[in-house]
Amino acid sequence: MLRPMVSSSPSPERNSRCRLAKALQSEWQAWTGSFAEFMADLDGRKVPYLSHSKVATVERCPRCYYKQYILGEQPCSDALTTGLLFHQAAAASYARRRDSRRGAQPADGDPPVPQHPSLGEQPYLDNALATLTENVWEGHEVIGVEELFFMDLAPRLPPVIGVIDLVLRKGKSYVVVDHKTSKRFGEPDGDQLVLYAEHVRRAHDGVRCKGAFDEYRLVPNLQRVRTPVFRRTPISVPASCLPDLMLRYRHAWLAIKRIRGEDNAPAGDECWFCKPRYSSWW
């Protein structure tokens, strides 16, 4: 249960935002489909909400935002499918570790290796999962796997929805972890973990929290690589980062509200979907 922000005299605006956040959470609890279908339904009904993915997308490319969140189109590529299958397998692996520690009877045998619809991509997925096994978080208790939250983050913002890949605890300190997969290491966006850490602080009554990105470089053959295929990047996520995060989200929300059609949703200069053409969208 999320810990509400304390205020001696809540404003009508705050009360309205809290009601909307709780309403979204209640809708999800009553939902019978998948989380992806739930989010698509919110977008189809034009329900106001933010996520870090929404913020990052509109910053990178307003046209991609328009296509994905307004038209309901989804980018499609083998790499995105590999990432999705990896996240599902990583979640299952850490969930087994969590349940085993809590005394639950694990299912017989190891979970099946996910099968990639593109045969040529299977080695990339298999090698990423092998790398995951070699780099699990030892000495930490698994508290949450794909932990979903609905947060009333700040005034002048709609509710924020997020899913944390992994929440760990060691002693009195928590760690929020996000998994990344790609053909090369990127530049992690620390604000994503700042948001996740704020949820953990609220949910667990102001605990100490750290952040980390676990990045898995997709390679076809682990025996031939000469550079690292795994990188764990610690991220500082103190509450003092929240004002900058809120300002960034407000700017993104204003940009989102200005988008009414493709004419005022220009392609981003560095967008890998929109350049040289829109062939990645199906």
Mean pLDDT of all residues in 203-228: 94
Q: How confident is the model at residue 109, as a pLDDT?
A: 56
CA dist 116 → 65, 184, 236 (Å): 27, 20, 35
Main-chain phi, psi angles of 251, to 5 degrees:
-60, -45
- HSE at residue 76, side-chain half, CA atoms within 13 A, is 8
User: In this predicted model, which residue has the larger pLDDT, 226 or 268?
Assistant: 226
Given a contact cutoff of 8 angstroms between Cβ atoms, the answer to whether 131 and 215 are in contact is: no
Beta bridge partners of 126: none
Q: Which residues contact 112 (CB under 8 A, 6 or more apart)?
A: none
- The DSSP code for 180 is E
Between 165-174, 233-242, 264-273, the lowest mean confidence (pLDDT) is in 264-273
**pLDDT above 80 for 89:** yes
In this structure, of 2-16, 111-125, 129-143, 180-194, the range with the lowest mean pLDDT score is 2-16
Q: How confident is the model at residue 267 (pLDDT cuts 50, 70, 90)?
A: confident
Report the pLDDT averaged over residues 123-134: 96
- pLDDT greater than 80 at residue 199: yes
pTM for the full predicted model: 0.87
Residue 33: left if φ>0, alpha if ψ -120 to 50, beta else—which one?
A: beta
Distance set, CA 27 to CA 42, 47, 105, 246 (Å)? 10, 12, 31, 25
Instruction: Give the pLDDT of residue 101.
Output: 72
Whether pLDDT at 33 is above 90: yes
The predicted model gives 234-257 an average pLDDT of 97
161-176 pLDDT, tens digit each: 999 999 999 999 999 9
Between CA 130 and CA 124 the distance in angstroms is 10
pLDDT computed for residue 206 by the predictor: 78
pLDDT of 108 > 60? The answer is no
Distance, in Å, from the CA atom of 145 to the CA atom of 89, rounded to the nearest integer, reads 11
Question: Could you give all domains of the chain from N- to C-terminal order, each with its CATH number?
Answer: 12-264 (3.40.1350.10)
pLDDT at position 261: 81
CA angle 57, 204, 188 (to 5 degrees): 30
The whole-number pLDDT of residue 85 equals 96
**Span 2-30, mean pLDDT?**
64
**Six-digit token string for 163:** 């899913």
Per-residue tokens: 23:
């309403």
Cβ neighbours around 37 below 10 Å, total? 11
Tell me the pLDDT of the chain averaged across its residues: 87
> With bands split at pLDDT 50, 70 and 90, how would you rate the model's confidence at 2?
very low
pLDDT at 279: 38
Structure tokens belonging to residue 198 = 């704020």
CA atoms within 13 A on the CB side of 281: 19
Residue 153 CA, distance from chain mean position:
16
Provide the angle, in degrees to the nearest 10, between the axes of the packed helices 242-258 and 52-60. Answer: 60
**40-78 pLDDT, tens digit each:** 999 999 999 999 999 999 999 999 999 999 999 887 788
Confidence of residue 132 (pLDDT cuts 50, 70, 90): very high
What is the average pLDDT across 82-87? 96
